[in-house]
Structures are given as structure tokens and as C-alpha cells.
A and B are shown apart, each in its own frame.
Chain A
Amino acid sequence: MFGIRRPLRLVAGAVLVAASLALGACAQPPTPSDDPTSNGSQIVIDTTFDIKTADPGREYEPTGQIVVKALYDTLLTFADNDSTKVIPDLATYEASADLTEFTFTLVQGRVFSDGLPVTADDVVFSLQRLQGLKGNPSFLLDGVTVTKVDDQTVKLTTEQPNPALPSILATPSAGILNSTVVKSHGGAIDETDQAEEFLNSTSAGSGPYTLQRLDIASEAVLVKNPQYNGSQRPTYDTVILRNVEPATQKMNVERGESQVALGLSGDQVTSLSSSVKLTSTPSATVVFLLINADPAISTLTSNPQFVQAVKSAIDYAALVDLAGAGAGQATSLIPTQFLGTLPTSQALTFDLEQAKAAATAAGANGQTVTLSFPNDIDPTGLPLVNVAQKIQAQLAAAGITVDLAPAPFATEIDAYRDGKEQIGLWYWNPDYMDPANYLAFGPGQTVGLRSGWKADANPAIADLVTQGYTTGDLAQRKALFEAWGLAMNAESPFVPLLQPASNVVSQPSVTNVYYNPVWIINVAGLGRA
């Protein structure tokens, strides 16, 4: 049994296996056109996966938002081409004058994918579950009490006035689940919930699609919900989202193997073939500099003259060029898609002479400050290391010497959150489509404190923050957030730099391609020419 004959037989077997594989490889590979599932109503969307789950109460990653948005309707939503005004989806609503009570009345006749009607019990269960799971998106409904009024009516009460609540309820995480089905698969409104596995294998919503298959490493397959009776008219019977690296996405969409590519950077879209079309807009991601106002961290960065020097020393147009096609300058911390954003004319401007004078006045000459940033992150295809190097060169021209301190995100995030960075280069993605997202940058607020900017450091801006959290009237909110943005540009220790591009590359046959700051793309809204 120890002779050499047996290994030879094994080798012979291996040769046979290899030969059969080679035969398979040489056979004509299936193409999209001869695939049985490709019947003309299938669309393949390539993106880089970060999805962890298709459970609305737990998901909070961009790919998860795309999937869950298609599977679960929300009480309210936004139109594909207008992210400033909330509109009804499963319900209409009325808010009390003090913005602490929101009453939702369900639209008659809406049903889940199994035909059961959407009821107030489903809404209460879904929103209480979102809160009780203590998952990534649970903070969205902090301080909110959800109660059933009758079978068609639900009331949400907030501890503080909350004008952003309607926008929050439009996020996919606030999707409404079929409580009967979910409860029968271990669903609960607290941490004992066991329904995640079930919701990763199928869906239990009233959205235009249902989940056929999810592999978080490679593919999500959605099929049209035959019971759907909402306002959207999904064009494609099957939507396939695939996990593909950007360079490969480009080749796939140009060859027609996929119809949409979501992850191409500004550089990559400059060399696109003419056979595809590009929808390019600045994304809602704001890349910004944080300049620490705490003298204990740095006596230089905490000097207001130094902050002004940095703001004037940056050539914003050069940064936008660096970011590539479709990128834009962040006119304030509030991106262009949101209520209260500033026009380009009111953005920060580059003035080297002013920067040099301010740097000298601050005593920056001869001193070195550290610019920290995560070097393994590239928000929408823009590596932060490229931005950091550019800024280092621009500040040097104004007489400010900067040492770069790159670190992995998982390592650097602690220093950022603890307010230990002298200068930090970071980015902010919106959690929901309301400018109240950005009030976190105010003095004494979450991000403000990361730059050592305490509540009493700027009472005027702190007052605007308070008003931002409590003002409900749309026109007043617009004026208020514009004033906040201007004041922040002038006096805060933050420098809004740019909004990298959001590039959607698609086959010419695909229409209605709109970028959304929260759910990236509404697959049910995509059309066909």
C-alpha cells in the first residue's frame, strides 16, 4: 500500500478533473443574452458591497440601503429627483405646532408581499423594533415614543421638538415590516429578536421588490413584488446587485454584462467608452478639515488666526480638480442636495496673501502641526491620502508646515472621536435627508467637541443650532440653515473642502437614473428607453 502506483493513480484522476475543467472553460461561456434569466426585464447593477444584512432594523450601510429601499416601503419618502421635500408613501402625516407630536394616517389598501394589509400594528412593531434592537440605526428614533391610535393611525411623540422626524422616517431603516410574518420567525421589539436570518433569506415588506437571494459577499437578487400597489412602477422584473471592484465594474458596464455601475471614481469616468452614459453629480459626502480649538492639544491650531490662515490657504478649485469629474466644492458643511445649502458665491475662497498674513500673525512660521487622516478610506473613490498631500503642499505655500499622519480608519477613528487630533481630515455622510444632520458640527455638539469646540465658545452659533433643532417651517428652516452655514464658514474650526463625485455609469437604455444621498439609487425608479 506504500507503493508508488497509488499516487500515480491519484495524479491520473487529477488530470481527468483538470481536463474536464478545461473542457468546461473552453466551452462557450454563457452571455447575458443567452442566460435564461435575462429576458430583457432584468437589470444588473455592479457596486462595491458593504452590506451586512437585509434586516431594516439592523442595516446601515449604503448597499444595504439600496436593497432595503426596494424591499420595504416607509411611511414617508422623497421623490427621486427632489431630496428636499418629504412626500407620503405608506402614510400621510400632521405635526403639532410644537413639533413634538406627529400623527400618521395610513394610506388605504396598501398590502405586503403576501397580500396582508399594512396596519398600524405593523408600523408600531417595525418602529419599536428599530429602537429596541439597539442596532446601528437605532439612534434614529432616540427619544421617540410610538403608539397606536387606531388601525389606521399611529402617533409618534418626541421628547424634544424634532422637525427632522419626517425625513428620518423616510430612511430605509424605518421600513415597515409585516409584523405577523416577522413575529412568526422570531421577530421581537427588543434584543431577543431572532428574525435577522429569516430577513436575509426572504423579505417581509410592501415594497416594489421582494428578496429572492442574498449573499453578502457576492450578490443580491430582487424580483418584482406581484402584490405591490404603491405609487412606483418598477420596470425591471429582476434586479441583480453584484459585488464588483470599481475597475472591473467599468469593464463590465462597457461590455454590457452589467447595465449600471455605481462605484467609479472621478478618474475612472474620464476614460469611459462612448457606449455608456454617465450621470455625475457631487455626492452628499462632505470632506472637511477639523482644526482643534483646544489649546491643550495645540496652542497654534487653537488660535483663530491660524484657522483663518488655513481657510484662506486652501485652493478649493485645485482640490475639486483632484477629485475628478463630477466633484464640487462644499460651499458649507451642508451639501448641495440639502435645504439650507449655500450658493457657490458664499463658499470659502482661496487667498494666498491673506493666508500668509494670518499665518504670520498666528505665529505659524517655524512650527509644525500634524494632519491626521484615515488612509484606507476613499469616500466615493477619492483616496483621502491624495487630498492630504495636496493640502500639505497648499499650506506650505502659506508658511504652514504640516506633517502627515496617516493611519488605518479603525485606528484613527479613536483619536478623532476623542478630540486628540491637531488637524483632522475626515468626511461626513448624511444619516437622513435633513440639514439637522449637520448641526452635530456646532459648538458643544458631537463633532464640534471632537475639535475641542465647547458650547460656550460661540454662543451665536450655539443659538442657531438650538433653533435648527426646533424650527419647523420650511422657509424659516432654509434661512436659518443658510445663516448657520455662513457663520460656520466664518467662525468655526471646520473647513468644508469638497463633495466628491457620485458617478453612476449606465447603458444608454437605462433611464431615470437619480442619485440619492441616503439610498444612493432607487432601483424601482429605474426605467428603460
Chain B
Amino acid sequence: MSQGSVAPDLVPPTPAGTVPAATIVTDGRGRRSHAALLRYIARRLVIAAVLVVGLTLVTFSLTNLVPGDPVAAALGQRAADDPAIVARFRAEYGLNQPLPQQYLAYLGRLLHGDLGVSWQTHHPVTQDLARAIPATMEIAFCAIIAAALIGLTFGVWSAYKRGKVTDQVLRVVSLIGISVPTFWMAILCFSTFYYRLGWFPGSGRLSPGQAAPPHRTGLYTVDALLAGDLRTFVDAASHLAMPVMVLTLYTVGLLTRFSRSSILEVLETDYVRAAKAKGLSSWTVFRKYVLRAAAIPILTIIGLAFGSLLSGTVLVESIFSWPGLGTYAYQSASKLDLLGVMGVGLFVGLVYLTINLVVDLLYGFIDPRVRIG
């Protein structure tokens, strides 16, 4: 059955509790208008820019509201007693200016893509982020892909076997996945698979002394493949396996539960019963009626989970000595490193804005009733 021939009474309704964030204008023949789509994206980008400015203001204000002097936090006790060293530090990082002036100067630099210099690392924040983000991204990509595949499969399986032993087992597994703290799981995996069994290598992104592959993307597995360096690829992938496994376990639990409930809801609708009554094969009913209707809440959860993984997982990174964004964010916050904190805040904000935009657009791909205009 083609998409255009779905009878009006068989059109799957929007799953309860989900409100499409956008609608796509169609012409009389069901084709989407590209102009409308572009207008929609442009509007979202303008809103995103305003939100980014708001984000910088909130982050800047909150960081400065914290009682404590960054000079004392950044300098040693003796250095902080030396007026010349303190004056040099304040001048170098612009801390001798009034706060509004500091904020405006930050915004001015931001327009040129300059996030300032971290007083924790002495490096430009852009450079720090360029190092930390790919490290986290490499874990997050792998974890979300694995979790989406496994979680969706489990969710569908569980829904179709509702009430049976398989369903009960999968529900318990997903509950465990959600309930067990990720840091505990990380310690357990590290202790078992590295320390006791030796199946996986230990901490870090590469083995000791192993040089990183030539920088292209910052994702060591990808860079190693691009450089044709299979040995480094294997090394990087083997170091990636355990942190990915830990983060996947949690996300699988989440996705299993959400996809199960979404699919169950759709399975009980009239249009699915009608489709079955028409004699459509189970696979066709599942693919064209059930999955597409259930996909929107699942996609939303995948987007949020991906955002959460990208914004850094401090404890997991800490246990696996993974120099990612979570570690950088924690260190910046504990040292009152204003520019580092703002850089991380900005990136995390952009991640969520982008993911929301992408998810909204994907609604249009998945659900023909979603209209942009």
C-alpha cells in the first residue's frame, strides 16, 4: 500500500501525549513545500541564536554569583598573596573590568568564535573543547547507536509478547538498566572485564605510549581508519568498548521501556486492527502502521538520551580516565574557571537545540501528518 492511498479512517492518530512541534505544508499532491521548510528552519535558527545569548547570560551570571574569588582558586596560596602576580592574572583574563563589561567583551569575542582562554588549562577554550568533545562524542555515538538498536528491538519484542515470560524478563532487564547507577556499573565492568578477566584494556583512549592518529575528526577510531592504521583502530576500539557498554546498558533500559509502551498503545488502536482485518501481513502492519506511529515518542527519547550522553558523563569518564567533556566541565566548575564553564554551557545548550531541531525535522520524515508552516 502506498503512503498516498491510506484511507482517512486508517490514518494513525498522533500518539497520546505527543504534540508535533512542527507541521509540513503540502501542496495538493502531497509534496512538501521546500520554501516552508526553509522558513521553518530559519525561524528555529533565529530562536536558537536568541536562546544562545540567553544561555551565555544565565551561565555568566550564575558563575559569578558563586561566592569565591577565581584568583584564589587559580593561583597558589603564596602567589595569591603577591599583588603583582594577582594584578597580572586579573589583567590577563579581564577580571579587572566591571562584570557587565566582562560579559559584553565575552559576547564580542564570541561573535568571532573566540571563547577566551581557560585559566585552568592556559589554553583557548575552543582548543580544550576541540579536544574534549570528540572524546565524549565517540562514546556517545557508539552508545546511542547500540542502545537504539537493542532498546528498540527489546521494546518491540516485549510489546508483541506482552504478558509472557519474554516480556517479563525484558522488563526486568530494562528496569535494572535504568536503576543501576552508571558509575557503579562502570566500576563493576572495569573490575570484572579488565582487572579480573583481562578481556578489555584498561583506562584511557589508547594504550600507554600509543600515539594518537593524525587529527581529522578527533574520533580516534575514525581517524585511525582514515589514516589506514588498523593497529591504532583496534587499540582505540578496544578502549572504547567498556565505556560504551556501560552507557549503552542505561540507555537500553530507557529505550526499551519507552518503545514498549509506545508500541503497545498503537497496537490497541482501531486502525491497526482494521489493517490486520484487511489481511495485511504482520510485517506490513508493523512497519507501516505500528512502527511509524510509535516512532515519534521514541525518537524524542533517543534525542534526549543522546543529548545527555553528549553533555558528558562525569563519573564514567572519571573511572575510565576518559578525557571528555564531563571531566572538563567538572574541573572547570571546581576551579571557578568562568570561561571554561561558559564554553561547556554553550556547547551543551547548542547540542540540545540542534537535537531538538533535528528531531522536529525527523517527525516530518516519519509522520506524513506532521506539517511545517
Contact = CB atoms under 8 A, between A and B. Distances in A.
Nearest to B31: A2
Interface in A192-248: 196, 213, 215-219, 221, 238, 240, 242-245, 247-248
B368 to A, nearest CB: 9
A35 B78 contact: no
Interface string A77-88: 000000000000
Interface stretch (A22-30, A148-156, A277-285, A324-332): A22-30
B82 A35 contact: no
A194 to B, nearest CB: 12
Given A24-B236, A25-B200, A244 B321 contact: yes
Contact of A138 (B77, B82, B123, B234): B82
B187 A35 contact: no
B241 A30 contact: no
Interface residues of B, number: 78
Contacts of B204: 218-219, 242, 244
Contacts of A242: 203-204, 208, 321
Given A244-B203, A248-B321, A18 B146 contact: yes
Contacts of B355: none
B81 A139 contact: yes
A102 to B, nearest CB: 21
Interface stretch (A289-297, A410-418, A452-460, A511-519): A410-418
B116 to A, nearest CB: 16
Given A4-B366, A446-B81, A218 B207 contact: no
B354 to A, nearest CB: 16
Contacts of B70: 410
14 contacts: A2-B365, A6-B365, A17-B142, A23-B237, A30-B201, A30-B238, A136-B75, A136-B85, A137-B76, A142-B82, A248-B202, A257-B208, A408-B68, A410-B73
B205 A218 contact: yes
A18 B149 contact: yes
A386 B360 CA distance: 50
Nearest to A37: B209
Classify chain A's interface size.
Answer: 35 or more
Nearest to B92: A191
Interface in A1-47: 2-4, 6-7, 14-15, 17-18, 20-25, 27, 29-32, 35, 37-38, 42, 44
A412 B209 CA distance: 39
Given A217-B327, A218-B323, A7 B69 contact: no
Contacts of B362: 7
Interface in B227-259: 231, 233-241, 244
Nearest to A258: B208
A251 B190 CA distance: 9
Contact of B73 (A2, A7, A20, A413): A413
B292 interface: yes
Nearest to B143: A18
Nearest to A13: B145
Nearest to A44: B208
Given A242-B208, A413-B72, A134 B85 contact: yes
Contacts of A37: 208-210
Interface in A410-455: 410-414, 417, 428, 431, 446
A4 B68 contact: no
Given A21-B240, A25-B200, A134-B84, A245 B321 contact: yes
Given A25-B238, A219-B204, A410 B323 contact: no
Given A24-B234, A29-B201, A29-B234, 14 more contacts: A21-B241, A29-B207, A29-B239, A31-B201, A32-B208, A37-B208, A52-B121, A134-B85, A134-B87, A138-B82, A217-B323, A218-B205, A242-B204, A417-B77
Contacts of B120: 52
Given A139-B78, A244-B321, A257 B202 contact: yes
Contacts of A413: 68-69, 72-73
Nearest to A259: B208
A60 interface: yes
B37 to A, nearest CB: 9
Contacts of A409: 73, 334
Looking at B67, B78, B121, B327, which has the most chain A CB atoms within 10 Å of its CB? B78
Nearest to A133: B88
Interface in B284-325: 292, 318-321, 323
B221 interface: yes
Interface string B185-212: 0010011001100101111110111110
A238 B209 contact: yes
Interface in B87-142: 87-89, 92, 120-123, 131-132, 141-142
B45 interface: no
A52 B78 CA distance: 18
A240 B211 contact: no
B336 interface: yes
A58 interface: yes
Given A7-B365, A24-B221, A215 B323 contact: yes
Contacts of B210: 30, 35, 37
B319 A245 contact: yes
Contacts of A472: none
5 closest residue pairs by CB, A with B: A24-B237, A25-B241, A29-B238, A217-B323, A134-B88
Given A2-B32, A25-B237, A138-B85, A60 B202 contact: no
Contact of A2 (B191, B201, B364): B364
A240 B208 contact: yes
Given A219-B204, A247-B187, A409-B73, A14 B68 contact: no
B244 to A, nearest CB: 8
A451 to B, nearest CB: 14
A410 B287 CA distance: 56
B66 interface: yes
Nearest to B84: A134
B202 A255 contact: yes
A53 interface: yes
A254 interface: yes
Contacts of A215: 131, 323
A378 interface: no
Contacts of B244: 21
A244 B131 CA distance: 17
B187 A255 contact: no
A161 interface: no
A53 B122 contact: yes
A428 B78 CA distance: 11
